[in-house]
Amino acid sequence: MQVTIDKNSGFCWGVVRTVHIAEEMLAKYPGSPIYVLGHIIHNPKEIERLAQAGLQTIAVNDFERIAGQDAKVIIRAHGEPPETYVKAFKNGIEIIDATCPVVTKLQERVRKFYDQGYQIIVFGKYDHAEVLGIRGVCHDSAIVVLTEDEALKAVDFNRKTVLFSQTTMDRPTFYAIRDALQERIKELIVDSAENIATEFHAKDTICGQVSGRETQLAKFAQENDVIIFVAGRKSSNGKVLHDVCKAVNPRTHFIEDIDELQDEWFDGAQTVGISGATSTPQWHMDEVKRVIEERYSHAVA
C-alpha cells in the first residue's frame, strides 16, 4: 500500500504565524503565565501539544481573574472585537496580537463600509470567532447568513450594501449569495480583503489558501483509492475541504484522531492519500501515515 500526504495540506501561513508567536512567547518567558484567548486553532491535537508546553486557554471573562499577574494574552489568528482590547487595557493585561493579517484587513474593510452607512452582509457562521470580531467592528449590525435563502429574507434591498465572507467559507455558496443579491440590490459591492484601488469588483474575502487548494485537492483525491482527511471537527475550512474530496472520491473519510480509523476503509486499496485543514499540524498527518502503514497494509487485496 502506498500512503501519501498531500503536499499542499496543513497549516496556512496565518496559522503558522500564530503558532510561532505562541512558541516564541513560551520560550521567552519560561515559568510566566502565557494565555491564549480561546482555542489557538481548531485542532485538539495541536491545542494539547501547546498546552503541555505551558500555553493556557482562557476566555474574556477570565480577565478580571488574571489581572495583576503581569499576564500576557495572545489574540489568535481569528481576531477579536474592539471590546476585547478595551477590557484587556482596563485590567492591565498585555495583548500579543497574532490576528491573521487577512482577518485584520477584513475587519478594516468592514469598519470602513459601516462608517459610510452601508448595510453589511457577512457569509459565515454567526458565532464563529472570526465573525465575532467582524460583528464587533460594526457594533453588531452585520447580517450574518449561511445560505442564499437566509440572505434574501434578511436583507433590505433598498439600502446600499456590501457583501463580505468569513475567510474560510466555500466559494460556490458565496457566489450564489452574490448573484441573488445582485439581481435585487441596485448598489451592491462584493468586497475584497486586498487593499486595491477599484471599489466595485467581483472578488471576495475568502482566504486564497482555502479556496486556492480546491482544484489541487480534487486532483489529489481522484489520484488515490482512499482519502483520509484529518482535521478538527470545529474547523470551518476542514469541512469545506473534506467536502471537496468527498465530491470526487466517495471513499473519503474524516477523522480527528487516529483511533477513528476503521479496517474496512482500506479493503483492496492500493493508494491512500492523507490531507488536512489549514489548522492540521504536519506532525499529526505524519503520525496518521505511520499508523496506516503499520496497521493496514495487510488490507490490500
| pTM of the predicted model as reported, rounded to 2 decimal places | 0.74
What residues does each domain of the chain span? 2-10+211-299, 13-100, 102-166+171-205
Reading the chain (301 residues) residue by residue, the pLDDT tens digits are 899 999 988 777 788 899 999 999 999 998 888 999 999 988 888 999 999 999 999 999 999 999 988 889 999 989 999 999 999 999 999 999 999 888 998 999 999 999 999 999 999 999 998 999 999 999 999 999 999 999 999 999 999 999 999 987 878 889 999 999 999 999 999 974 433 223 333 345 666 556 567 788 999 999 999 999 999 998 878 888 999 999 999 999 999 999 999 999 999 999 999 999 888 989 999 999 999 999 887 654 4
Architecture per CATH, domain 2-10+211-299, reads as 3-Layer(aba) Sandwich (3.40)
130 is catalytic: yes
2-10+211-299 and 13-100 have identical folds:
no
Three-state SS annotation for 21-76: HHHHHHHHCCCCCEEEECCCCCCHHHHHHHHHCCEEEECHHHHHHHCCCCCEEEEC
* Res 193: pLDDT: 41
CATH number of 102-166+171-205, picked from 3.40.1010.20, 3.40.630.30, 2.60.40.10, 3.40.718.10: 3.40.1010.20
What kind and span of H or E run contains 161? strand 161-165
Residue 270: closest CA among 228, 242, 299, 230: 299
Cell numbers of 263, please? 479496517
* Res 110: pLDDT: 94
CA 127/CA 110 separation, integer angstroms: 17
> What CATH fold (topology level) applies to the domain 13-100?
Rossmann fold (3.40.50)
Which entry of 46, 130, 148, 256 is annotated as an active-site residue?
130
For the chain, the residue count is 301
